[in-house]
């Protein structure tokens, strides 16, 4: 039925019907939380077409591994691959694959996902493996002769291939979750051993496999899937596939112009201002130093839906294995803030036995590639965007600070206003209240590291530029904070068993003697210098001395 609308002749009811018809015809559906490709297409949701990359993967290789943070669409990617290999051509109408694929061969697909449950112990893992294997044994009427999971998987792959006279497609989603769920518990190693055994047939059954794709958050070095499957192609840092998950700037412009315009109108911003805010909050992920950056799709969709620039990634939960790691490894501030230079092997593979937290932080999505030093083969890692920076610092504060968490927001605003008003005494009073007592989890010999770390984190949450260990000709300043019109240099000292006045004066002398302020002399900004003294007995901030403006 076609509706024709005439302004002068139409009745009130006809006008209302026209408005409803027009709204229905122009309604766009965001795929928030939808991980099934067929469901997404049948609901007519907006789909950012990744199928050309899927075709490239299928045409050029066979065994792949992809590491990406949560909420980046890994499950939807595997669901799209499943539909493709099952030959569901009708779902790809209008997409790149519709024209690229000429044969549309139907392959049997074995899909195993660990995303729907938690695996705190070996029993829960074994139950999940049994359920998933039983499904295919029942579907293909396969007799179970050996109850161990590895022989059962081997038996399923060979039988399915022989019954269908086709090679098998195997898709494994969140392969590492049973390890991460049991991290730092007595079940970590049993879960690891069980998975190592379970994945072992994937190499032996190579001749029966058409395509193998494995996803996860981490690349766990202790799981011999990567040494046993030495042909597995890790594309996590590959330039050609850096936009396989996530939404690039090009895709944002192509697919979401109406949503951007609606968001701009609702927030009373220009389209240009809206794009800048979206980029500041949700863009900035780089999975190759040469490739295009991407936005977090979940956060982008939620922002369009709510018409608010919220912290949606953190609202959906903090990865439990990150919290566990922070609780079991010492806090190393340089690993997390100010940017970090690292070689690829320092952040690509996660070793649960190592004290190196960098792979956990990078693979969780809290740090991303921001630059590359070709001469020295070093990557620069830093926070991808404002949402992640604020959220990660708040995760740390919940662990290391004594102020009730509900009060943090208010205190941060007070701290921000104190700095704007050049009230250094009030700013440091807020810091003092925040770290009044040393948490019992922190050893006395870690006092200095703890106090410097927490002071930095609290300052960082103000949104002002904060740098720790800023290099000068004669040394490194502890904390430098800059606002629009001011520079604050904080030198932190332990009391050494004497009065704080003497130590604070020594800290101010060090700032001048080492020329920490010299680089800011021509900035035209007002300069403040503070010597800050902490208790070596865990009694918090003892006192401070402030050198006035440009003194």
Mean pLDDT for 11-16 is 54
CA distance 468 to 479: 5
DSSP assignment of 207-259:
GGEEEEEEEES--BTTSTHHHHSTT-EE-TT-GGGTTSSSEEHHHHHHH-HHH
Q: Is 321 exposed, middle or buried (0-12, 13-18, 19+ CB in 10 A)?
A: buried
CA distance 321 to 261: 38
> Side by side, which strands form the sheet with 109-113?
109-113, 168-173, 209-216, 63-67, 233-234
CA distance 86 to 424: 65
CA distance 184 to 188: 6
Asked if residue 534 lies in contact with residue 495, where contact means CB atoms within 8 angstroms, the answer is: yes
Mean pLDDT for 497-518 is 88
Beta-carbon neighbour count of residue 105 at 10 Å? 11
DSSP assignment of 355-410:
S--HHHHHHTTSSEEEEEETTTTEEEEE-SSHHHHHHHHHHHHHHH--S-HHHHHH
Mean pLDDT for 13-20 is 48
Q: How many percent of the chain have pLDDT more than 90?
A: 56
Q: What's the pLDDT tens digit per position in 53-78?
A: 999 999 999 999 999 998 899 999 99
pLDDT for res 358: 81
Q: What are the Cα distances from residue 258, in Å, to 165, 263, 293, 390?
A: 47, 9, 22, 29
CATH fold of 37-241? Rossmann fold (3.40.50)
CA distance 77 to 497: 60
pLDDT for res 443: 56
Domain layout of the chain by residue ranges: 1-27, 37-241, 247-282+290-312, 320-382, 402-547
Does the CA dihedral 153-159-160-166 come out positive or negative? positive
CA distance 321 to 191: 15
Please state which CATH number belongs to domain 402-547: 3.40.1350
DSSP assignment of 7-39:
TTT--HHHHHHHHHHHHHHH--B--TT---HHH
Q: What residues contact residue 531 under an 8 Å CB cut-off, 6+ apart?
A: 491, 493, 503, 504, 505, 506, 507, 508, 510, 511, 544, 545
pLDDT for res 1: 37
Q: Is 230 exposed, middle or buried (0-12, 13-18, 19+ CB in 10 A)?
A: exposed
Average model confidence (pLDDT) for the chain? 85
pLDDT for res 521: 82
pLDDT for res 337: 62
| pLDDT tier, 517 (very low <50, low <70, confident <90, very high otherwise) | confident
**What token pair was written down for 485?**
């019109």
Q: Are strands 368-373 and 168-173 parallel, antiparallel or unpaired?
A: unpaired
Assess whether pLDDT exceeds 70 at residue 37. Answer: yes
Q: Name the residue with higher pLDDT: 167 or 539.
A: 167
pLDDT for res 208: 97
> H or E stretch including 110?
strand 109-113
pLDDT for res 406: 58
| pLDDT tier, 315 (very low <50, low <70, confident <90, very high otherwise) | confident
Q: Name the residue with higher pLDDT: 535 or 6.
A: 535
Q: Phi and psi at residue 543, in whole multiples of 5°? A: 170, 180
Q: What's the pLDDT tens digit per position in 102-145?
A: 999 999 999 999 988 889 999 999 999 999 999 999 999 999 99
Mean pLDDT for 270-293 is 94
The least confident of 149-153, 425-429, 441-445, 533-537 is 441-445
Distance of CA 263 to the CA centre of its chain: 24
pLDDT for res 335: 58
pTM over 0.95: no
pLDDT for res 405: 54
Top-confidence range, 24-38, 78-92, 418-432 = 78-92
């Amino acid at each position: 039925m076609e509706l024709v609308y005439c302004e002068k002749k139409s009745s009130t009811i006809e006008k209302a019907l026209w408005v409803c018809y027009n709204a229905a015809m122009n309604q766009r559906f965001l795929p928030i939380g939808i991980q099934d490709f067929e469901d997404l297409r049948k609901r007519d949701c907006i789909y950012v077409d990744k199928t050309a990359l899927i075709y490239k993967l299928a045409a050029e290789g066979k065994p792949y591994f992809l590491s990406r943070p949560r909420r980046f669409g890994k499950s939807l990617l595997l669901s799209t691959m499943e539909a493709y290999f099952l030959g569901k051509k009708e779902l790809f109408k209008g997409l790149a694959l519709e024209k690229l694929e000429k044969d549309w061969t139907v392959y049997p697909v074995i899909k195993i996902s660990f995303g729907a449950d938690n695996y705190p112990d070996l029993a829960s893992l074994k139950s999940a493996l049994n359920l998933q294997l039983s499904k295919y044994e029942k579907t293909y009427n396969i007799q179970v002769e050996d109850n161990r999971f590895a022989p059962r998987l081997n038996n399923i792959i060979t039988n399915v291939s022989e019954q269908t006279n086709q090679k098998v497609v195997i898709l494994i989603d969140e392969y590492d979750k049973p390890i991460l769920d049991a991290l730092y518990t007595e079940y970590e190693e049993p879960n690891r051993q069980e998975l190592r055994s379970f994945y072992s047939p994937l190499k032996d059954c190579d001749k029966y496999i058409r395509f193998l794709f494995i996803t996860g958050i981490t690349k766990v070095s202790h799981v011999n899937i990567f040494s046993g499957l030495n042909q597995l192609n890790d594309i996590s840092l590959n330039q050609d596939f850096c936009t396989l998950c996530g939404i690039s700037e090009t895709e944002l412009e192509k697919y979401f112009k109406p949503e951007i315009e609606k968001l701009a109108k609702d927030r009373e911003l220009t389209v240009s201002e809206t794009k800048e805010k979206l980029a500041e909050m949700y863009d900035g992920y780089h999975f190759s130093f040469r490739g295009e950056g991407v936005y977090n799709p979940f956060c982008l969709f939620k922002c369009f839906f709510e018409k608010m620039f919220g912290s949606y990634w953190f609202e959906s939960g903090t990865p439990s294995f990150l919290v566990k790691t922070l609780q079991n490894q010492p806090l190393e501030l340089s690993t997390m803030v100010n940017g970090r230079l690292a070689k690829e092997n320092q952040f690509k593979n996660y070793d649960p036995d190592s004290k190196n937290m960098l792979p956990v932080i990078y693979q969780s999505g809290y740090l991303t590639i921001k630059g590359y030093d070709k001469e020295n083969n070093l990557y620069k890692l830093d926070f991808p965007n404002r949402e992640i920076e604020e959220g990660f610092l708040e995760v740390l504060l919940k662990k290391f600070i004594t102020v009730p968490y509900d009060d943090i927001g208010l205190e941060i605003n007070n701290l921000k206003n104190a700095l704007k008003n050049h009230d250094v005494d009030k700013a440091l009073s807020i810091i003092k209240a925040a770290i009044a007592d040393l948490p019992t989890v922190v050893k006395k010999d870690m006092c200095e590291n703890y106090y410097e770390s927490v002071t930095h984190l609290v300052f960082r949450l103000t949104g002002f530029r904060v740098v720790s260990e800023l290099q000068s000709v004669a040394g490194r300043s502890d904390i430098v904070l800059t606002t629009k019109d001011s520079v604050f240099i904080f030198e932190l000292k332990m009391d050494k068993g004497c009065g704080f006045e003497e130590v604070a004066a020594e800290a101010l002398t060090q700032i001048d003697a080492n020329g920490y302020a010299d680089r800011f002399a021509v900035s035209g900004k007002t300069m403040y210098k503070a010597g800050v003294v902490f208790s070596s007995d865990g009694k918090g901030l003892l006192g401070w001395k402030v050198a006035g403006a440009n003194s």
